[in-house]
Amino acid sequence: MIIGPIKVLVLNLKSALWSGFRTVRQFMESFLDARHRLNICQTWIVAMAGKTREFPDSIAPQLVTPVSRPPAGEWQYEIKWDGYRMLACIDAGVTLWTKNGNDWTKRLPHLARELRKLPIRGAWIDGEVVVQDADDRPAFQALQEAFATGNSAELRYVAFDLLYFDGVDLRSRPVEQRRDLLRVLLQSVEMDHVRFSDTLDADPLNLLASACQMGLEGIVGKRLGSRYAGERDGSWVKLKCSLRQEFIILGYTRASAGIGSLLLGLHADDGQLIYAGRVSSGLTNRQIAVLHGRLQNLERGSPPLRVVPKIKARTVWVEPVLVCEVKFAELTSKGKVRHAVFIALRDDKPASGISLESSTEPALSLIHI
């Protein structure tokens, strides 16, 4: 009969010790160097976690929910990094996994080498691969150019979560504790191309206004106390400066340059493809040439749609496998994009997962800049 109260007491004690981790970390920053801080944190985390867990073979990434206004409650915010999502698995070696489970380690050898410097036996880290411009802003076009040319030396890994750490599965721990430990870990060694995604301490609308003025995509919010569920559970949200999402390329209209406009589509709730309008603005001559070459190899005789739109221009339909990212002013009542601007191809996103994001109102409409 006494086991129950003792168990509750132990759990309460562990919770109190976990909640004191940030205070300990802040105290140590005043007196100890990074390596000593990490050693103490390792001992602290292992002691609080109890028994160790087997190293996970794979981890599903936490997904972000688009919202048009900051949610109620206690949240912490970061920059929305405009790059490629990447999970770093550090065990006997380092493996860099894309959001869709593709091994990109060979494409990012310098990042794998730097992550190998971390003084740990095993870890899973979540982050984003980016290219930063002269003002340290993410530059997605430059990122794609770097991969296209094989010039990956300027690619950086911005880490924002720690999921597993030396035998301890941290996914059930609050996000703020995981990020505190990640920051200590990354500070323990000098790395040129790996950095921590700092928490932005300000009102989210003011943060969003500043992000938009700087030309960033927006901000990401994470609910304090939330675990890493590996799904879209609403504990991570994104507020964007403009409407922006991925579309499936269904075909194109002909022009003297090869492509006049791209025909866009999405998956409806029933899984059927539906037409979502077209985009021509934002396409450079080089992008048109690359797209035309790829789309010619995907041409088909009939549209991949159950309901075919009436398009006056000469149209070429293609297999719906390529994905592009587009920003736009709004969706019409008929579900078509208005004032669409092409951003980039997204070879890291499978067409099977592309549907209308739940938020169709830009968060920018809530602020005045």
Q: Could you give the residue numbers annotated as active site?
A: 80
Q: State phi, psi for 113 to the nearest 5 degrees.
A: -65, -40
Task: Answer for the pair 306, 270: CB distance below 8 angstroms, yes or no.
Answer: no
Pairing state of beta strands 261-267 and 273-279? Answer: antiparallel
Rounded CA-CA distance 295/293 in Å is 6
Look up residue 302 and give its two tokens: 């009939």
C-alpha closest to that of 120 among 41, 21, 221: 41
* Long-range contacts, 35-43 (Cβ 8 Å, 24+): 35/119, 35/188, 37/184, 37/187, 37/188, 38/119, 38/184, 38/185, 38/187, 38/188, 41/181, 41/184, 41/185, 42/165, 42/166
Q: Residue 270 corresponds to which amino acid?
A: D
Closest CA to 230 of 278, 271, 169: 169
DSSP H/E element including 78: strand 75-79
Task: Report how far residue 241's alpha carbon sits from residue 5's, in angstroms, rounded to the nearest whole number.
Answer: 51
Q: Are 56 and 169 in contact (CB under 8 A)?
A: yes
Label residue 84 exposed, middle or buried (CB < 10 Å: 0-12, 13-18, 19+): buried
Q: Any long-range contacts for 329-337 (C-beta under 8 Å, 24+ apart)?
A: 329/242, 329/243, 330/243, 330/360, 331/243, 331/276, 331/356, 331/360, 332/277, 335/274, 335/275, 335/276, 336/275, 336/276, 336/277, 337/247, 337/264, 337/276, 337/277, 337/278, 337/279
